[in-house]
Amino acid sequence: MGDLRSTVVVGAMVILSVLLAYVQETRSGKAVEKLQELVQSSTLVLRDGKETDIPTVDLVPGDIVLLNAGAIIPADLRLISAKDFFLSQSALTGESMPIEKTAELNGKAPGSVIELPNACFQGSYVVSGTARGVAVNTGERTYLGSISAKLAGEKTQTSFDRGIQGFTWLMIRFMIVMVSLVFLIVGLTKHDWADALLFSLSVAVGLTPEMLPMILTVNLSKGALSMAKKKVIVKRLSSIQNFGAIDVLCTDKTGTITQDRVVLEKFVDVANQPSEDVLRYAYMNSYYQTGLRNLLDRSILSHTDLDVERAARKVDEIPYDFQRKRMSVVIEHEDAHIMITKGAVEEVYAACSSYQIDGEVLPLIDVIRRDLMEEYERLSRSGYRVLAVAYREFPRDKTAFGIKDEAGMVLLGYLAFFDPPKDSAAKALSSLTGMGVSIKILTGDNELVTQKICGDVGLKAGGVITGSQLALMDETGIMKAAEEHTIFARLSPSQKEQVISALQKAGHVVGYMGDGINDAPALNLADVGISVDTAVDVAKESADIILLEKSLTVLEDGITEGRRVFGNITKYIKMGASSNFGNMFSVVGGSYFLPFLPMLPIQILMNNLLYDISQTGIPMDNVDADYLAKPKKWNIDNIKKFMLFVGPISSIFDYATYFLMLYFFGCIAFKDGGANAPYLEKLFHTGWFVESLLTQTFIVYIIRTKKIPFLQSMPSLPMIVTTAAVIAVGIYLPYSHFSDKLGMVPLPGVYWLWITGFMAVYAAMTHGVKVWFYRRYGDD
């Protein structure tokens, strides 16, 4: 998590490496070896009451572990003793600040197991203090191990996978019915079962959308290349379509919508008015201390333009500890020694007997103390991390100082810190909302901070659900909470999964954006996992899409690109499915009443090949702006209805062509036999081949948009070129040198007048049915 982990670099690296080892090596049995190499030696293992040299990875339940500062928790432990014991659970919860653990329960019911005050979990690390704990769970049975097990498992089917699978089975069912009917009809009417089998297999090929894999791959690859230009890595091609389909985006807070750094937002006096004195005193406290400077100190010291004494003589220092929760430095100033104290508000208050406002020092009586605490509480409720600053003057002859001297101090004011949102967050989230994507915050951080950040980026909270509240809900309650609430705070990794799973069960396509180890299971479960360039490696490994730049505005571009890709994929599916269905519907009828096959098997295959070639321009086609305005999901029922309503229209003109060729051009005379019969059969085949190819190729322009083609929606140049080329080839084939090999003959000139009329009426009818269909059933 970027800068917020900078105070614990070693620990974070170990945690990251441990989880990576789990993910990559659990199945091969090497996870234990990897853990053994990485866990530091700041722990001591007791077995049967004796010190041992047992590696921490060989722990078994019941072993006693002694923990010191810097230790990585090697197993899930129950504390049996602890002294000033603080550890970081950021790897598990995402909350950056250390928390105190004790051997006793505090009497409060924990919201989740991770909040138990006397339990430590593998993957956490010790910030300060000492403790002794008994191992409860080890290895894969630990809380961290359960996360790695989920990541090692097979990824669940996404919306894209389910959609493609649904369409495949739809076509298979139609194919089985149509091929069986054609085989039986041709066999019974023509009495040639070998030809019937060959012809029915040709029909199966004709019904198959052979170009679908190519259309899918080219569309998705084109989308990935487009996103790469915007510095977005697409790890899984199918995630492009899922990106466009998401209607709920769940996101972690820290590092995704925030800058993942601590900023000193306010420095105010006790009346909550800006005060340079407060900043100046705090600066000197941080500047002159010799201990480890934490994130808050570095944030204070970033104010380098401050007019402050940097060359004063340091007299003494009282280091920070987690019992006092404050630290003091003493510097020489003019004719006095000044003690400057900075720390937790309650602890600094306890050391103060007066306060300063507008340069006047006043006694800190109980009534005033309560009023001043209200200012502090107001800042805390606003989501700030608040410290207090106080000072005390001593005579110059006093040169040694201790904790007892932190008394009778003057309260000067407060410092308010927070992790600010990214500059692009508010605009990006607003744009996503405008595109029909609901935003939900899933974080392990506390609810006050989360509410403030959400307010800063323009998200309406509408109530907050905490991990402890979620733990008390059944599946129905979780689904209801997931639908109705925007902010979920203090969540464990498994609870993030629960929220995402509930949204998916409710029919949503869910995206999740996170950057921490604790986000990895949610990234793996979501339909599309999104991470950022500063994320830990485990999060990047689990994600489908990685943003290489800090700006979140690329999310809008990604969703638009995903919808464009999906729009072009469904164009091909609707065009191919309806056209092929219509043609094969014509084949079934023609096979019954015609004295010969409606079209030769080689002609069916050639027709299908040319039509598929005409569709190669689809990945480069334009998509209407209104189509991109809202999320798009797979709707197999809608595709089936479109195929059933639009497909038979082509059959009307196929049958019209049948009767044109039979009775206008005299092909019905085939029944009388004679020397001219083979020519008449070829003439019929040629006439229907050309009509079938031209109408289904031209009708692409009608089906590709809800609007009036060319006038309201212009196809792309590649689309125009490919379809025009195929139409030209279709017209040329009957007159080509190899027409005889295809079983074709030249067509009379008047034929082209008839076909031109058919195409005009066909286009008008299809457009009318299309408009009616979209009004009634929508375009999902």
State the catalytic residues: 252
Helices 159-190 and 238-245 meet at what angle, rounded to 10? 110
Two tokens, residue 638: 């809608």
Tokens of 294: 């934490």
Look at strands 409-418 and 352-357 and give their pairing: parallel
User: Cβ–Cβ contacts within 10 Å for residue 436, how many?
Assistant: 13
DSSP assignment string, 440-469: EEE-SS-HHHHHHHHHHTT-----EEEHHH
**Cβ–Cβ < 8 Å for 418, 383:** yes
Exposure b/e, 340-362, CB count within 10 A at least 16 = b: bbbbebeebbebbebbbbeeeee
Long-range contact set of residues 646-649: C-beta below 8 Å, sequence gap at least 24 = 646/574, 646/578, 646/582, 646/703, 646/766, 646/769, 646/770, 646/773, 647/577, 647/578, 647/579, 647/580, 647/581, 647/582, 647/585, 648/581, 648/582, 648/585, 649/582, 649/762, 649/765, 649/766, 649/769
Q: Report residue 287: phi and psi, to 5°.
A: -70, -40
Q: How far apart are CA 89 and CA 95, in angstroms?
A: 7
Tokens standing for residue 328: 């003091």
Reduced 3-state DSSP string for 563-598: HHHHHHHHHHHHHHHHHHHHHHHHHHHHHHHCCCCC
Could you tell me if 122 and 73 are in contact, meaning their C-beta atoms sit under 8 angstroms apart? yes
Sign of the dihedral defined by the CA atoms of residues 483, 488, 494, 500, in that order: positive
Q: What values do phi and psi take at 72, rounded to 5?
A: -90, 130
* Spatial distance between the Cα atoms of 56 and 35, rounded to a whole number of angstroms: 9
Residue 418's nearest CA partner among 20, 96, 62, 89 is 96
Residue 422 phi/psi, 5-degree rounding, is: -65, 150
Measured CA to CA, the distance from residue 362 to residue 410 in angstroms comes to: 9
Choose among 533, 524, 530: nearest CA to 504: 524
d(CA 534, CA 6): 13
**DSSP-assigned beta bridge partners for residue 386:** 416
Question: Is residue 671 packed enough to be buried (19+ CB in 10 Å), middle (13-18) or exposed (0-12)?
Answer: exposed
- Other Cβ atoms within 10 Å of 630 Cβ, number: 13
Instruction: For residue 564, give the nearest of 625, 617, 514, 609 by alpha carbon.
Output: 625
* Ordered alpha helix ranges (H), 506-635: 520-525, 537-542, 554-593, 601-614
- DSSP label at 540? H
What is the spatial order of strands in the sheet that 232-234 belongs to? 232-234, 545-547, 528-532, 510-513, 248-251, 438-442, 487-489, 464-466
683 near 749, Cβ under 8 Å?
no
DSSP 397: T
Q: Distance between CA 192 and CA 185 in Å, rounded?
A: 11
* Beta-carbon count within 10 A of 503 CB: 24
Partner residues linked to 513 by β-bridges: 251, 530
Contact yes or no for 23/541 (Cβ under 8 A): yes
Closest CA to 618 of 700, 527, 529, 516: 700
